[in-house]
Structure 1
Amino acid sequence: MSKLSFINKVVYFFNGVFALLLLLSYVLPFLPPKTFGILAVLNLGVSFLILMNLLFLLYWLIKLKKQLILSLVVLVIGYFTYGSLYKFSSSKHIENSGNFKVMNYNVRLFNLYDWLPEENVETKIVDLIKDASPDILSIQEYHPHKNVDLSFFKYKYEKLSGKKTKSGQAIFSNFPIINSGSIEFPNTANNAIFADVVNGKDTIRVYNIHLESLKINPEVESLKNEDSERLFQRVNSTFKEQEFQTELFLEHRNKCHYKMIICGDFNNTDFSYVYRKIKGDLNDAFIEAGSGFGKTYHFKFFPIRIDFIFADDAFSVNGFNTFKGHYSDHYPITTTLSSK
């Protein structure tokens, strides 16, 4: 260290800070937000912390300095604990006569309040869904928009709230729905719903979860105007609420004995406590069959994956796709499944 120049000492100091934060973020999925709420904010920036440590590693590699070991060790620990941030393998697609497709999409009320300046966003969303041709569709922030026609699905279950503008979650299916219901989350419009669908001889429980939103505008100018202390307090409070909602969901899920598929917008990443608890021993369809970063939320500077489809081990995950159509602040995802 004494042989380093002043500039390199400064660089190594910040390298140490980012390495420590990344190492700490690896532990957070195992710590309840109710106890470590403020620290849980790191969940949102894990991809950024990984990229920063990669840059530090590259810097020391170019300099041919042994200080590269710090970021290298932390990145290797993360790789063997959580896998790669970027999936280099191409998306697999296995043809199977029993294949069916599941889609998840937070549609942001079909652009009801013109967040996007583009015209006819709602009909473009419908066209995207038609082209994807899912057998089961899970929608968050659903609104029965006058221009939205999803009648090409035979069955649906929706749970809406609100006085002037009705919104909520919905499940559409081409398989018969024999049972459905809602898991109410107190003092919020967010909730979880379920539908039991029959596909051949299988009865499948499909959950659609929308956990509490962080209410953060991802645009940089908006983030600059946020009071940092108030922002951290809000995130802290939201993560604690998400933990409570997850507990309510798990209590309901543990009583189900059907094959299970869980879809949803968790408003948290795959490095979070709620992701780990909800996923349990299910398979993350992106990890099984996806490629790239799997980005599902529109944020300019680093990829964030907060929308998920989990499948019971009784299913083979035969394909996965992340769509790039920017008609919401989320990107839709699909997975192709078949019973084993």
Structure 2
Amino acid sequence: MKRNSLVNKLLFFINSLVATALLLSYILPFISPKTIPAFAVFSLFVPLLVIINLLFLGYWLFKLHKNVLLSLFVLVIGVFISTPLIKFSGKEVILNDDIKVMSFNVRMFNHYKWNEDATTEQQIYTFINNQSPDIIALQEFYHSKSLDIKLPYKYIKTKSKTNKFGLAIYSKYPIINSGSLDFEHSANNTIFVDVLKNKDTIRVYNVHLESLKINPNKENFGEKDSERLFKRLTNGFKKQVDQTNRISQHEDVWIGKKIVCGDFNNTAYSWVYKQLAKNKKDAFIEAGIGLGKSFRYTYPMRIDFILTDENATINHFKTFNKLNLSDHYSIMTRLHW
């Protein structure tokens, strides 16, 4: 009995630490990474904290122990004030006037052969064309000679005339206006197009915020030591603040229908997400199911998003997490106004 008591005390101590950490994480979206950079790094681990608290909740429930109240209390608070990690029910309504919007970080169509399968590039084109989106936003786009996306209108913005790396938006609907925000001192960027659907003009932003250069397949995420990794992450988050402010200022001028999608390189528990999702609907939260994991990592990191203005109706959301075509999974939603 004493041994069991000691084990329970140790487990409850650990439980207390992770429950407190999760509780503190609820304030992260309100603190700019420029104010306390360490907090921004902490936001990457919120999904892990949720999972650990769920495991403790299950353990204490199994034991029928009063310690269950700690994680239960913290998780219930999160239901009301934080972005959900798990959606238990989805939505699937198909209407003829739905717009199918896809976002996909294609990792340069395997240009640098990270995937040994030589057919990866063509598989990506086939996958996109089979899904037949009306609008698709592509991050880490590479202007390949084999490019084969069967949509009639497009806006492609590469870093320079000689550098084929950048962003692209393809559309079934005519593009009547387009532009680039041209982030300074960054390989990343945000572009936008105005598409004309019948008599409606819809603005679409393709966002690719500063990359954190996390390589989950390498020790210490590809950095020599933890101190250098922390510095790299904090510098990346600080850059994301300026980029997010630039996007917000640009989109605030537009008062019409709006879609903001892309690879935010940050989670739904961050200051960045809170700013970009302000006065918008998150397609995953509205119609998704499951964890919404969009980055190929050991625990669920949702860093790719499709957001719309509040007047849109989200009818369906899907994460294509069965394909090994990139280090990101593509996401797609059906929506209409």
Same fold (TM over 0.5): yes
SS at match of 1:5: helix
- CA gap 1:53/1:224 in 2 versus in 1, 3 angstroms: farther
- Aligned ranges for residues 1-340 of structure 1 at < 5 Å? 5-82=5-82, 84-89=84-89, 91-150=90-149, 152-162=150-160, 165-219=163-217, 221-223=219-221, 226-299=224-297, 301-324=298-321, 325-339=323-337
Which piece of structure 1 moves more, 220-229 or 283-292?
A: 220-229
Once the two structures are superposed, residues 251-293 of structure 1 have per-residue CA deviations (whole angstroms, 9 ceiling, x without a partner) of 1111112210011100001111111100111110111111111
Shift of 1:80: 1.7
Shift of 1:222: 4.8
- CA gap 1:225/1:180 in 2 versus in 1, 3 angstroms: closer
Shift of 1:22: 0.7
* Residues paired across the two proteins, number: 335
Which piece of structure 1 moves more, 96-105 or 226-235?
A: 226-235
Which piece of structure 1 moves more, 269-278 or 13-22?
A: 13-22
SS at match of 1:11: helix
Once the two structures are superposed, residues 222-242 of structure 1 have per-residue CA deviations (whole angstroms, 9 ceiling, x without a partner) of 538641121112111111111
Contact kept in structure 1, 2:84 and 2:285, CA below 8 Å: no
- CA gap 1:25/1:114 in 2 versus in 1, 3 angstroms: same
Once the two structures are superposed, residues 5-44 of structure 1 have per-residue CA deviations (whole angstroms, 9 ceiling, x without a partner) of 3332222221111111111111100111111210221211
Contact kept in structure 2, 1:38 and 1:233, CA below 8 Å: no
Separation (CA, whole Å) in 2 of partners of 1:96 and 1:71: 41
Q: List gaps (5 residues or longer) in structure 1.
A: none
Separation (CA, whole Å) in 1 of partners of 2:320 and 2:162: 31
SS at match of 1:231: helix
What is the CA RMSD across the aligned residues, in angstroms?
A: 1.8
Give the structure-2-normalised TM-score.
0.95
Contact kept in structure 1, 2:83 and 2:269, CA below 8 Å: no
Shift of 1:337: 1.2
Runs of 4+ with deviation above 4 angstroms: 162-165
Contact kept in structure 2, 1:34 and 1:243, CA below 8 Å: yes
Once the two structures are superposed, residues 90-119 of structure 1 have per-residue CA deviations (whole angstroms, 9 ceiling, x without a partner) of x32222221121110000000101111112
Contact kept in structure 1, 2:203 and 2:259, CA below 8 Å: yes
- CA gap 1:155/1:71 in 2 versus in 1, 3 angstroms: same
Percentage of pairs with the same residue: 49
SS at match of 1:305: coil
Matched residue type, 2:156:
E
Separation (CA, whole Å) in 1 of partners of 2:327 and 2:155: 24
Contact kept in structure 2, 1:210 and 1:265, CA below 8 Å: yes
- CA gap 1:33/1:285 in 2 versus in 1, 3 angstroms: same
Contact kept in structure 1, 2:293 and 2:319, CA below 8 Å: yes
Separation (CA, whole Å) in 1 of partners of 2:114 and 2:83: 35
SS at match of 2:329: coil
Contact kept in structure 2, 1:18 and 1:49, CA below 8 Å: yes
Matched residue type, 2:182:
E
Shift of 1:86: 1.4
Shift of 1:220: 5.7
Separation (CA, whole Å) in 2 of partners of 1:34 and 1:258: 31
Shift of 1:318: 1.3
